[in-house]
Amino acid sequence: MSRIWQFWVCAFGVFFAAAQAQAGTITAYTALEEDEIAAYVEAAKEAMPDVDVKVLRLSTGDLGARILAEASNPQHDVIWGWAVTNMMDQRILELLEPYKVKGGDKLGEQFKAADDKWFAVTGYMAAFCANNERIKEKGLPMPKDWNDLLDPKFKGEVVMPNPVSSGTGYLQIVGILQKMGNEAGWKFLKELDANVAQYIKSGSRPCKAARAGEYAVGASLAFAAIQAVEEGFPVTMVIPAGGAGYELEASGLMASSKNKDDAKKFLDWTLSAGASKLYGKYKEIVTTEGYEPPESAQKAGLPKDVSSVLLPIDFGKSAKERSAILERWQKEIGR
């Protein structure tokens, strides 16, 4: 249960006491990281003092299992910031109600569902965290792409996320399979497995392990690498030269919500200017119109136009094949 993080967002002070007594309450299920959840909810509290937001946080795979287990009696009002590949599961879509979020007309068509059941304001992409000191100590070449990690010199020096529980892990595999083709991609993954020391449940932890010097390379997400660079760790962010797999973080309204007015108000807020200002602190992909990455992220190696390094991912295909891909991964590679 340590993966579950719940908290109540309450207004403070006597000024809000009366409002809190009549406040609406919504529950959001999310796979966002804990530190960003805290920042977003604090800002939402200031913008909507009459709405209490209860948040349940689980990893991407565990959240899907939770939602499906509760399908006959959902316990939440909104899905917030969850991998769109998972959101596009037909069983999940059947639980959602179409809603035209305020400001959604300014999102690109690829960032929202045609039937308005989901929209995505943020996303994340694959990147390596390469520990400069360990690479030098071990006499390893600085990797530039996935193929470089097949070098026998990297045996036991690579750590990756487990795709069954981690959305980052799944997007990495999907990126490889869609770029290389199915059979060539699986052949590559098996060859890469020979050099992988372990598969970690979280998408950010491989980077944390690499920045701590435990491994030379942590296949992780770009934001974790940017954060490591900004915090002064001896890390180089490497965006795969052949293109990075990525995922969008989708949000949607539960048809079963008993407080849809406040749930809609919250969803509207996630696309507001106030919310958008926060996303660059935690995300490498922000879909709002005119957004540019912070200067610090660009100094760490993130291009101004992030779309220039992204693979052309077919999310519909990714969603449709998800169960089969994970089943094969567990059978042929998982450990």
> Which element (helix H / strand E) includes 9?
strand 5-9
**How many separate helices (H) and strands (E) can be counted in the chain?**
15, 12
The domain that holds 201 is classified in CATH as: 3.40.190.10
Asked if 290 and 69 touch (Cβ cutoff 8 Å), the reply is no
pLDDT confidence bin for 23, thresholds 50/70/90: low
pLDDT, tens only, 129-156: 999 999 999 999 999 999 999 999 999 9
Share of the chain above pLDDT 90, in %: 80
Question: By residue range, what is the domain housing residue 25?
Answer: 5-123+246-299
> Does residue 155 sit in the same domain as residue 278?
no
Among residues 158, 168, 169, the alpha carbon closest in space to that of 284 is found at 168
| Residue matched to tokens 């035209």 | 100
| Residue matched to tokens 């507001």 | 272
> Does residue 315 sit in the same domain as residue 201?
yes
Strand partners for 246: 125
Residue 8 clears pLDDT 60, i.e. is over it: no
Among residues 212, 257, 217, 258, the alpha carbon closest in space to that of 231 is found at 212
> Does residue 22 sit in the same domain as residue 58?
yes
Please state whether the predicted TM-score (pTM) of the whole model is above 0.85: no
Strand partners for 125: 246
CA-CA distance, 244 to 313, in Å (whole number)? 9
Q: Which amino acid is at 172?
A: Q
> Does residue 293 sit in the same domain as residue 148?
no
> Does residue 106 sit in the same domain as residue 229?
no
pLDDT, tens only, 272-299: 989 988 998 889 999 887 788 999 999 9
Average pLDDT over residues 232-238: 98
Among residues 121, 159, 172, the alpha carbon closest in space to that of 282 is found at 121
What are the structure tokens assigned to 207, written together?
């980077």
pLDDT of residue 43: 97
Among residues 138, 166, 157, the alpha carbon closest in space to that of 218 is found at 157
> Does residue 118 sit in the same domain as residue 20?
yes
What are the structure tokens assigned to 315, written together?
């999310």
Among residues 32, 30, 38, the alpha carbon closest in space to that of 7 is found at 38
Residue 15 clears pLDDT 80, i.e. is over it: no
Q: Which amino acid is at 68?
A: L
CA-CA distance, 116 to 316, in Å (whole number)? 15
pLDDT of residue 167: 83
Say how many residues make up the chain: 335
> Does residue 171 sit in the same domain as residue 255?
no
> Does residue 85 sit in the same domain as residue 204?
no
Residue 5 clears pLDDT 50, i.e. is over it: no
> Does residue 311 sit in the same domain as residue 293?
no
> Does residue 237 sit in the same domain as residue 322?
yes
> Does residue 209 sit in the same domain as residue 185?
yes
pLDDT, tens only, 163-218: 998 889 999 999 999 999 999 999 999 999 999 999 998 889 999 999 999 999 99
> Does residue 210 sit in the same domain as residue 95?
no
Alpha helical stretches, state H, 115-259: 132-138, 167-180, 182-193, 205-211, 222-230
Which residues are within 8 A (CB) of 280 and not within 5 positions of it... i.e. 6 or more apart? 286, 291, 293, 294, 297
Residue 22 clears pLDDT 70, i.e. is over it: no
Q: What's the total number of domains in the chain?
A: 2
Q: Which amino acid is at 49?
A: P
pLDDT confidence bin for 13, thresholds 50/70/90: very low
Which residues are within 8 A (CB) of 308 and not within 5 positions of it... i.e. 6 or more apart? none
